[in-house]
């Protein structure tokens, strides 16, 4: 999937929650686990930035909300 598809996915996922603002999102988001492909990461960052209409403070802050499944990550390296 492309970054655009992943952004649409994360937009829908974030929309299911009733976050008041970006700080509420950071405090309440339960996280997401994936293989951290480039398109997933870009889709997540773009979605959060667009949804909350703001630049995030830094990637490290967002990365703390985005966990990596080591099995899927290892498999993605093997298959690429």
Which residues lie across from 32 on neighbouring strands?
A: 66
Please report which confidence band the pLDDT of residue 34 belongs to, taking 50, 70 and 90 as the band edges.
Answer: confident
**Cα-based distances in Å from 21 to 9, 35, 40, 49, 54:** 19, 27, 22, 11, 10
Share of the chain above pLDDT 90, in %: 25
Please give the mean pLDDT across all residues of the chain: 81
Q: How far apart are CA 25 and CA 50, in angstroms?
A: 13
pLDDT for position 68 = 63
Supply the Cα-derived Rg of the chain in whole angstroms: 13
pTM: 0.76
pLDDT of 33 strictly over 80? no
pLDDT for position 36 = 66
């Amino acid at each position: 999937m492309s970054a655009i598809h992943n952004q649409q996915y994360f937009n829908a996922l974030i929309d299911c929650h009733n976050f008041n603002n970006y700080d509420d999102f950071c405090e309440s988001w339960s996280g997401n686990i994936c293989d951290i492909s480039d398109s997933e990461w870009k889709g997540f960052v773009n979605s959060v930035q667009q949804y909350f209409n703001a630049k995030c403070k830094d990637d490290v802050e967002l990365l703390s909300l985005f966990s990596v499944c080591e099995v899927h990550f290892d498999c993605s390296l093997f298959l690429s």
